């Protein structure tokens, strides 16, 4: 195994430190306390992001903005076509800024730039798909209840959605949650991972450029406690969507129980692989064995083992 592909390193100085702030009611702002936190790239250890550190105050302000924006109908009561038009604009802007977004995800998560590019391209397509759903949402009617009765089922937005995203697919997973909430007419408060906040902030910039009304999408940066906890406990939040660990998912259920809000969870690991007792590992594995290990490993671990696969030798 002597054939190597040499890729010249890119100096960290080529990318300046990204200043990330909260987006609350259409305005970018620092934390009330002035506190910040930093993210060092796992690739070279240099600081790549300096972000405002959210507290209960910022989280409650973002929730209040989302609540007001939902209740006054500036987004929830406009036509599906109008919402779809905005989502399509966002998709176009994501494609325009693909390189910038991919670079931020790569610097913060440590994943290869080629995979980050693919994820951002896929995210743009998700926004377009959500836009198509905004125009086709419909209910049902039932005429089997008797001559004097007609049953109607109407689909309505749930309200304020708290969206909590992980660090391993920062932009992609936000794009698997937010456009569908917006298509339905919901407003949102987003908490990206404290390890990868930048691409969510860039998305906020694109949403403003696309013309999303103030308060419809709010972004609070920081840690699970207090930001995520406040989102889950708030009576003004109608639904929580979380992707991450099983332990945190259990904590979210407990924190949300007092208000009986809807909770959507994507939890846990995947892709276990068993190693048979007859597999003998040598210093120079055979090509067939190397391929059997590398194929699932490459598929499952694009971001420094963040979508983890475990190889378990059987004793």
Domains of the chain in start order, with CATH, are: 14-132+155-268 (3.40.605.10), 274-315 (no CATH)
Name residues whose C-beta falls within 8 Å of residue 21's C-beta, 6 or more positions apart in sequence.
28, 29, 30, 51, 52, 201, 221
Torsion, CA 56, CA 60, CA 63, CA 64, rounded to 10? -170
What is 248-313 written as a DSSP string? HHHHHHHHHGGGT-EEEEEES---EEEEPTT----SS--HHHHHHHHHHHHHH-SSSSSS--EEEE
Q: What pLDDT band is residue 314 in, cutting at 50, 70 and 90?
A: low
Burial class (CB in 10 A: 0-12, 13-18, 19+), 162: buried
3-state SS class at 149: coil
**Residue range 104-124: average pLDDT?**
97
CA 302 remoteness from chain centre: 17
Query: What is the pTM (predicted TM-score) of this model?
Result: 0.84
CA separation for the pair 88, 130 (Å, rounded): 9
- Taking Cα atoms as reference points, which of 182, 27, 184, 171 lies closest to residue 99? 171
- Give the model confidence (pLDDT) of 206-237 as tens digits: 999 999 999 999 999 999 999 999 999 999 99
Question: Does 312 score more than 70 pLDDT?
Answer: no
Contact of 236 with 160, CB cutoff 8 Å: yes
- Give the model confidence (pLDDT) of 157-184 as tens digits: 999 999 999 999 999 999 999 999 999 9
Kindly list the distances between the CA atom of residue 49 and the CA atoms of 127, 194, 196, in Å, as whole numbers in the listed order: 26, 10, 9
Burial class (CB in 10 A: 0-12, 13-18, 19+), 20: buried
CA separation for the pair 309, 302 (Å, rounded): 11
pLDDT of residue 268: 85
Structure-token match 């190397």, residue found:
290
Contact of 227 with 218, CB cutoff 8 Å: no
Q: 236 versus 274: which is more confidently predicted?
A: 236
Percent of the chain's residues with pLDDT above 70: 81
């Amino acid at each position: 195994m002597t054939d190597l592909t040499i890729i010249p390193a890119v100096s960290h100085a080529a990318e300046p430190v990204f200043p990330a702030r909260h987006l609350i009611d259409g305005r970018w702002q620092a934390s009330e306390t002035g506190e910040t936190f930093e993210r060092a790239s796992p690739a070279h250890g240099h600081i790549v992001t300096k972000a405002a550190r959210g507290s209960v105050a910022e989280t409650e302000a973002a929730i209040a903005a989302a609540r007001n924006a939902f209740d006054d109908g500036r987004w929830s009561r406009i036509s599906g076509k109008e919402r779809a038009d905005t989502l399509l604009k966002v998709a176009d802007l994501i494609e325009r800024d693909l390189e910038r977004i991919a670079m931020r995800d790569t610097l913060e998560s440590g994943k290869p730039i080629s995979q980050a590019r693919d994820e951002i391209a896929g995210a743009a397509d998700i926004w377009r798909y959500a836009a198509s759903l905004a125009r086709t949402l419909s209910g049902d009617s039932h005429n089997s209840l008797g001559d004097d009765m007609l049953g109607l089922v109407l689909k309505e937005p749930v309200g304020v959605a708290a969206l909590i995203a992980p660090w391993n697919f920062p932009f992609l997973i936000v794009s698997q949650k937010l456009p569908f909430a917006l298509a339905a007419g919901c407003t949102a408060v987003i908490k990206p991972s404290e390890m990868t906040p930048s691409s969510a902030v860039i998305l906020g910039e694109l949403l403003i450029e696309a013309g999303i009304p103030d308060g419809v999408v709010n972004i609070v940066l920081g840690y699970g406690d207090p930001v995520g906890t406040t989102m889950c406990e708030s009576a003004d939040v109608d639904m929580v969507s979380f992707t991450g660990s099983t332990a945190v998912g259990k904590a979210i259920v407990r924190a949300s129980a007092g208000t009986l809000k809807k909770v959507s969870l994507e939890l846990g690991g995947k892709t276990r692989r068993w190693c048979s007792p007859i597999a003998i590992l040598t210093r120079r594995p055979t090509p067939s064995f190397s391929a059997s290990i590398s194929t699932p490993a490459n598929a499952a671990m694009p971001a420094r083992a963040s979508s983890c696969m475990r190889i378990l030798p059987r004793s």
